[in-house]
């Protein structure tokens, strides 16, 4: 059994999110820095009038925070009833992945 996913890179490592959760993929330039934000939030974007926080997944996962990557993108995902922007190094592809081969990190664990 497999599902469709958007795959992306962080510090050279592949990750993916279910395609059904992805609303948009935007350039990093659309992020407006937020002066008072949680530690992993690098800013916000406005998407059709809605202000959406952007989480730096490198920082969230404890990876080096190299912000020079030319292909950085914001993957806008729906998690529950909210939208979040996930700052990634590069979007790789949209494809199928066997469900039993995926390792699922708790990116949005309660209280973190």
pLDDT, tens digit (0-9, with 9 covering 90-100), for 46-78: 999 999 999 988 888 888 766 666 688 999 999
Q: Judge whether residue 41 has pLDDT over 80.
A: yes
Q: Judge whether residue 107 has pLDDT over 60.
A: no
For 15, the domain range is: 2-101
pTM above threshold 0.75: yes
In a domain, 108, yes or no: no
Number of domains observed in the structure of the chain: 1
Could you tell me which of 34, 42, 38, 21 has the C-alpha nearest to residue 94? 21
In a domain, 53, yes or no: yes
Instruction: Indicate which CATH number applies to the domain containing 33.
Output: 2.40.50.180
Q: Judge whether residue 109 has pLDDT over 60.
A: no
In a domain, 107, yes or no: no
Task: Please report the pLDDT score of residue 101 as a whole number.
Answer: 58
């Amino acid at each position: 059994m497999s599902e469709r996913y958007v795959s992306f890179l962080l510090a050279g490592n592949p990750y993916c999110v279910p395609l059904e959760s992805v609303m948009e993929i935007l350039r990093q330039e659309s992020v407006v820095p937020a002066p008072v934000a949680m530690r992993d939030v690098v800013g916000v974007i406005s998407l059709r009038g809605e202000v959406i926080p952007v989480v730096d997944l490198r920082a969230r996962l404890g990876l080096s925070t190299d912000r020079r990557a030319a292909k950085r993108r914001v993957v806008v995902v729906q998690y529950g009833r909210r939208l979040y922007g996930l700052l990634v190094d590069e979007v790789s592809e949209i494809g199928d992945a066997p469900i039993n081969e995926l390792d699922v990190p708790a990116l949005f664990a309660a209280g973190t």
